[in-house]
Each structure stands twice: as structure tokens, then as C-alpha cells.
């Protein structure tokens, strides 16, 4: 259920226009969010699966969330509802 490859397959088939590398990172972050026991960048990075050090997972989450070019209203239309 929390397998990033299943999340990646769903994301790739339902979200149009997102780069594969960004889809992979999003899948890893979502998988980590489903497993984590805390809230925040540190908890997400530590909860990422795979054989990576926590430091690298934390950096990956930080770069993904701080990316100014990632526009949720363009990349994730099924999830974004303007208020």
C-alpha cells in the first residue's frame, strides 16, 4: 500500500505534464507521509523508504518543497482546488 512504485504509477497515469523525476520524488514523499509518525521535513525525510541515509532523504524533501518552479495549480490539477 505504501510502495512508492505503486504511487508513482498512479501519479504518472493521472497527472499530465509532470516530469518523471518530479513524479518519482512526489511518490517517495507521499509514501513517506503515509508511514511517518511526525510532521515536517525531518519526519518525511527519515520516513522515506530505500537504502538512503536520512540526511539524503531530508535534503530531497527540502529541495522538492522549496522548488519555486513547482506550481501546484499546474502540476496537480486533480488535487488543487482554488479558494
Which residue segment(s) compose the domain that 48 sits in? 4-75
In a domain, 48, yes or no: yes
Residue 80 within any structural domain of the chain: no
**pLDDT tens string 13-62:** 887 788 888 888 888 888 888 877 667 888 888 888 677 888 898 898 88
Q: Provide the whole-model pTM.
A: 0.61
Q: Kindly tell me if the per-residue pLDDT of 6 is higher than 70.
A: yes
Label residue 7 exposed, middle or buried (CB < 10 Å: 0-12, 13-18, 19+): buried
pLDDT at 78: 58
21 assigned to some structural domain: yes
For residue 80, the model assigns a pLDDT of 53
Counting the structural domains of the chain, the total is: 1
pLDDT of residue 79: 56
* CA distance readout (Å), 3 to 7, 11, 80: 7, 13, 23
Amino acid at each position: 500500500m505504501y510502495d512508492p512504485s505503486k504511487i508513482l504509477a498512479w501519479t504518472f497515469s493521472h497527472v499530465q505534464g509532470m516530469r518523471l523525476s518530479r513524479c518519482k520524488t512526489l511518490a517517495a514523499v507521499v509514501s513517506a507521509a503515509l508511514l511517518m509518525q511526525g510532521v515536517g521535513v525531518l519526519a518525511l525525510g527519515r520516513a522515506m523508504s530505500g537504502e538512503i541515509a536520512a540526511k539524503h532523504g531530508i535534503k530531497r524533501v527540502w529541495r522538492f518543497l522549496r522548488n519555486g518552479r513547482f506550481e501546484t495549480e499546474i502540476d496537480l490539477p486533480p488535487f488543487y482546488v482554488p479558494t
